Each structure stands twice: as C-alpha cells, then as structure tokens.
Structure 1
Amino acid sequence: MGTKELEDAIRNIRKEQEQRQDDYNEAIKLNNSVLDMIDDSRHHMSFVSEEFIDDPELLEIYYDRRNMANKMIMEIEDSMSEMKRKYAKDMEGFDRKINELGKQIKDSSDDLKME
C-alpha cells in the first residue's frame, strides 16, 4: 500500500472511530434518561407509605413495582458497564490500527529516504 492509501485508511478509521464515539455518547444519554425516569417513578412511589395501603392486592402491586424499578436500574447499570468495557476495547483497537498504519507510513517514508 502506498502512502496515500495508508493515509486514506487512517482517515477512514478515524471517521469510524468518531462514529463509534458518537453512538456511544448517544447510548449513554439515552440510558441516563431512562434511569432518570425510573428514579423519578421511584421517588413518586416513596410518597405512598406502605402502612396506608389497606388492600393486600394493592400492597403486592406496590412491592412488585418497586422491585421491578430497582431491578431495571440494576440491569441498565450493568448494561452500561458492559457497553463502557466494549467501547474502551473498540477505541484501543482503532488506536492500534492507526498506530500500525502510521508505522507503515513512517517505514515507507524511511525506505524512500534511503533510496
């Protein structure tokens, strides 16, 4: 591959890296919005005191909803942690590819200087 092709490959990798970064940031914003909504819901539920719920069925629904909200938060947080690990690994891969191509450009440039 010539220098121009290598430079084009680096530009394409950087574009892909930027797109991946944008996708990641958007996913984080979305997850944070969902977490905020769930947290708001839990906050509103906290105004309902268990001792004022006389109906056992309603009390069961109350506990189910509260437990479901807690479970959803844990699942989203776990998902976000996994997404963060994958993102870091992807960014390392992009950086590695760019460094390898940069080294090839430098090596080909050094070869031309020797000739």
Structure 2
Amino acid sequence: MGYNQTMFGFAPYGRYWRDMRKLVMVELLSNHRLELLKHVRDTETSLLMKDFYEKSSRNGGQVVVEMKQRLAEMATNITVRMISGKRYFSADAKGNQEAKRLCT
C-alpha cells in the first residue's frame, strides 16, 4: 500500500496531512455533503431495524443480538456507501471474512 493510500489520520503531520484533512473536511464532512447523504444513514438504520424485526419474528418475538458488532457493521456500511456508493456488509454476505475482520 502506497503512502497516498494510507489513512490520513496515521500520516505524519506535515503538508500531506494538512491537505488530506482539508480535503476530508471540505469534501466528505461538510454540512452540505452530510445533508445530501442523509438518505444513506436513514437507509442503513432502517435496514438494521428491519433485520432485527425479521429475526425476532422468526424467533417468537425475542432474539439475542451482538449490538457492538451490528453497530460497527452499520457504521462501516454508512462510511463505505458515502464514499463508494456500495454496501460492505449485507444480509447475504454472512461468510464474508474480510468484512468481519474489518469490524473486529
């Protein structure tokens, strides 16, 4: 992995770090961009709640859920969808080892 592909938060402080921070704040985390991508957060939250409901319906109204893992997956999906437009985790990707490694 090249220097330009590393996460800017771990880069040594200098011109590259300042430029990347500015890019992230202006392009990814601006109020306008966050408002434009609000539907991504809403959709991912709805999908998580729908999954909980379906699991509890199949199990007589009760289900045990590992919230730390599920919330980490949801946060990862939101982040990846905001950047690339695609989900990282999905209901049919239960065997996705790379995705599991990312959130543990």
Specify if TM > 0.5.
no
TM-score normalised over the length of structure 2: 0.34
| Higher RCO, Cα 8 Å, sep 6+ | 1
Q: Of the two, which has the highest radius of gyration?
A: 1
TM-score normalised over the length of structure 1: 0.32
